[in-house]
Structure 1
Amino acid sequence: MSANIFINARFLTQPVTGVQRYAREVVKALDHLIEHGEIDKSKYRFTLLSPRRETKAPLELKHIPLQQVGFLSGHAWEQLELPLYSRGGLLINLCNTGPLLKDSQVVTIHDAGVFAFPEAYSFAFRVWYRILFKELGKRARKIITVSSFSKNELIRFCGIDPEKIEVIYEGKEQVFSVAPDYSILEKFDAEKPFILAVSSLSPHKNFQAVVRAIELLGHTGFQFVIAGGVNPKVFKSSAEPLPGGVIHLGYVSDGQLWALYEKAACFVYPSFYEGFGLPPLEAMACGCPVIVSEVASLPEICGDAALYCNPHSASDIADKVKQVMNNAGLRQRLRQKGLERVKMFTWLECARKTFELIKTVLNPY
């Protein structure tokens, strides 16, 4: 008799951001393991369960069917209907949330940002997720998280038993799910060396420090290219334009981002708080040297393949940019170390370890 394993696929009805990307890649990798016989489909039957809403970007899977169930949506569907439809099986939740009315479940909690960096979240979101994380930490059979840093944060803030938490690193390949789109390079003079950064309204991403570092650098022989949908003017005390030599591209697709990573002289990521930190790995995978914060999970993930900066010091960020841009040998060393470092992180290995954890929950003895 096969074991029923249900996957909470509410993520299929949501815009694709970090945690949804993770869920999609893990599910695709599990399907791959079934296809190649690493998971015996006669013993383990996987099913995706999602609300009856149009999916944002359907997954093309061979062995894991999707069932759209229930009448509600959002948190109400997850809390009230998902436990009913996942009866008789183990439920896998990959995006920080899960139903409080189900004990037989595994939950991936990516970080403890709602505790450690509360200003990045709305009051209602912060309150709900703080309750959810603590209760899921008690009720779930196992908690997966994506770095040792996040494990320690969940123990500190949520009081979760360390024995219950399993660290399983993410992969890095999703930027390669499409071909690079070099048309984005026509929007500026890509023949000149450029530094790439990604803008975000979230305070913990610390984009303001990038803006201040640009101002401190003044006129240089290189450009700053900002990718992201946010108007950088919101980070300024006035509506004045950004310093000269800065190109703001707005929203870019995955293919365009891949092209930017490939052509950039370096990628700057001075985030205050990351449970894992996927963008620096994506940049490394494209052969782009990276400058990252010396805090949170980033040293654990990037190892000796990055140049580290103090995220609280715009002058230090500016200094690190000058070091990289003025030293071709350093850029080449970072490029080579980055390409080697990313070999540690694959979605197939992430899925294998997730499945091994699933088996221990189903067969604890």
Structure 2
Amino acid sequence: MQVYINGRFLVQRITGVQRFAREIIKMLDHQLDIKCTILVPSEFQGWDSFQNIKIKKIGKLSGHLWEQLELPLYVKGRPLINLCNTGPVFKRNQIITIHDAAVYASPQGFSKLFRVWYKTMFFFFRLLSRKILTVSEFSKNELVKYLKVNSDKLKTISEGKEHFDKIKEDDSILPKMKLKKNCYILAVSSMNPNKNFQTLVETTQYLKDESFEIVIAGGTDCRVFNRVNLTNENIKHAGYVTDEELKSLYMHAGCFVFPSVYEGFGLPPLEAMSVGCPILVSNVGPMPEVAGEAAVYFNPYDSKDLAQKIKYVMNNDEVKNKLKEAGLKQADKFSWKTVATQLIGHIKQLDL
């Protein structure tokens, strides 16, 4: 069985959806049922070597033009797998992974051009694509609500956490940012307003008498997301960090806070749990699916509630230890190997 994989994600900065794609590809490389070739734009400069998967450069264009014109022209009627929200709009024999319905449910976080283009793509995916995958029951329900996708076409797969197991932490980030172990609260993600980091800013007014700091790791793409005002002397911005630095920040944080008001899945809380970091997550969206009983939940629209929950965790070692143990057990339920197996099952339903 021969399938092609849309490899545009290999020339993009790694965020949650690109991480999702890369980790699945690594697992697909260990199976022999399906022969996979990743098609990439000419700008591709190289990535991990594979045992069984081939990488092939095609075309001369880049970005959406490459994806809409040169990619489908090369693939023609053969099966194509798209893992990162986008793909050729007029192709039928393909699988599209749509990670969330944020452009419908929470459009204020995106530029007008971004919203129009993604809604256009999603409309044609609903009509033409053989199958649509998403990453949580919450996201599935949202896509049914906004896109009116037939339940037979829309299926769920999960996410995993093994990528963190292989990373060696880089503790140099701590002295670089003047951080003390277990004396800071960590938040991680892009500065999309849906991530609701503004609530963290408001929370600091209730934490003035506490000795811990708040650290936000991650960047912002102002071409896509509207600006978020996060100016506050009690918050340290780490910006983009390496995977090794990020693992260290997770491992040595007093707790991890995820105040997002809209997610398709929520990979950062899973990463935090996988290294034993106590987590506090919002009580909306897919968070109960991801964190189960291994988290302290808070109202993401109530900064006072968040502040109280932060104090409860940060000032109670027994609570921290229970959350750590529960988080490790919860994280073990998620595996990229399982996700790859799920994907293979869906691939076999295409015209191969």
TM-score (norm 2): 0.93
Q: Determine whether 1:235 maps to 2:229.
A: yes
**Could you say if the C-alpha distance between residues 189 and 90 of structure 1 is closer, same or farther in structure 2, counting changes exceeding 3 Å?**
closer
Could you tell me how far 1:362 is from its partner in structure 2? 4.1
Any residues of structure 2 matched to 1:180-199 within 5 Å, and which? 180-187=169-176, 188-191=178-181, 193-198=183-188
Q: Cα deviation per residue 1:216-273 (whole Å; 9 max; x = unaligned)?
A: 211213232232346xx9625xx6x513xx4333332110110111111100110010
**Could you say if the C-alpha distance between residues 71 and 123 of structure 1 is closer, same or farther in structure 2, counting changes exceeding 3 Å?**
same
Identity %: 47
**Could you say if the C-alpha distance between residues 158 and 199 of structure 1 is closer, same or farther in structure 2, counting changes exceeding 3 Å?**
closer
2:107 partner amino acid: P
Question: Structure 2 CA distance, aligned partners of 1:4 and 1:354?
Answer: 14
**Could you say if the C-alpha distance between residues 290 and 234 of structure 1 is closer, same or farther in structure 2, counting changes exceeding 3 Å?**
same
Moved more, 122-131 or 72-81: 72-81
Q: Determine whether 1:209 maps to 2:199.
A: yes
Could you tell me how far 1:51 is from its partner in structure 2? 1.3
Q: Identify the residue that residue 257 of structure 2 maps to in structure 1.
A: 268
1:210 partner amino acid: L
Question: Structure 1 CA distance, aligned partners of 2:56 and 2:110?
Answer: 32
Question: Structure 1 CA distance, aligned partners of 2:335 and 2:253?
Answer: 23
Q: Identify the residue that residue 277 of structure 1 maps to in structure 2.
A: 266
Residue 222 (structure 1) aligned to one of 201, 212, 221: 212
Which 4+ residue blocks in structure 1 deviate beyond 4 angstroms?
Answer: none
Q: Identify the residue that residue 81 of structure 1 maps to in structure 2.
A: 70
Question: Structure 1 CA distance, aligned partners of 2:179 and 2:103?
Answer: 40
Could you tell me how far 1:200 is from its partner in structure 2? 3.7
Any residues of structure 2 matched to 1:237-252 within 5 Å, and which? 241-243=232-234, 246-252=235-241
Could you tell me how far 1:191 is from its partner in structure 2? 4.1
Question: Structure 2 CA distance, aligned partners of 1:77 and 1:108?
Answer: 18
Q: Cα deviation per residue 1:146-165 (whole Å; 9 max; x = unaligned)?
A: 00000011111011101111
Could you tell me how far 1:176 is from its partner in structure 2? 3.6
Alpha-carbon RMSD: 1.8
Q: Aligned residue pairs: how many?
A: 345
Q: Cα deviation per residue 1:279-313 (whole Å; 9 max; x = unaligned)?
A: 00000001000000000111111111111110101
2:98 partner amino acid: I
Any residues of structure 2 matched to 1:161-200 within 5 Å, and which? 161-187=150-176, 188-191=178-181, 193-198=183-188, 200=190
Unaligned runs of 5+ in 1: none
Give the structure with the higher percent helix: 1
Q: Identify the residue that residue 4 of structure 2 maps to in structure 1.
A: 6
Question: Structure 2 CA distance, aligned partners of 1:176 and 1:82?
Answer: 34
Question: Structure 1 CA distance, aligned partners of 2:54 and 2:214?
Answer: 45
Question: Structure 1 CA distance, aligned partners of 2:57 and 2:138?
Answer: 36
Q: Identify the residue that residue 313 of structure 1 maps to in structure 2.
A: 302
Moved more, 272-281 or 9-18: 9-18
Question: Structure 2 CA distance, aligned partners of 1:141 and 1:177?
Answer: 35
Q: Identify the residue that residue 63 of structure 1 maps to in structure 2.
A: 52
Could you tell me how far 1:177 is from its partner in structure 2? 4.0
Could you tell me how far 1:83 is from its partner in structure 2? 1.3
TM-score (norm 1): 0.90
Q: Determine whether 1:17 maps to 2:1.
A: no
Unaligned runs of 5+ in 2: 221-226
Q: Identify the residue that residue 341 of structure 1 maps to in structure 2.
A: 330
Q: Identify the residue that residue 315 of structure 2 maps to in structure 1.
A: 326
Question: Structure 1 CA distance, aligned partners of 2:182 and 2:99?
Answer: 38
Paired residues of 2:198 and 2:228 also in contact (CA < 8 A): no
1:235 partner amino acid: N
Could you tell me how far 1:275 is from its partner in structure 2? 0.3
1:4 partner amino acid: Q
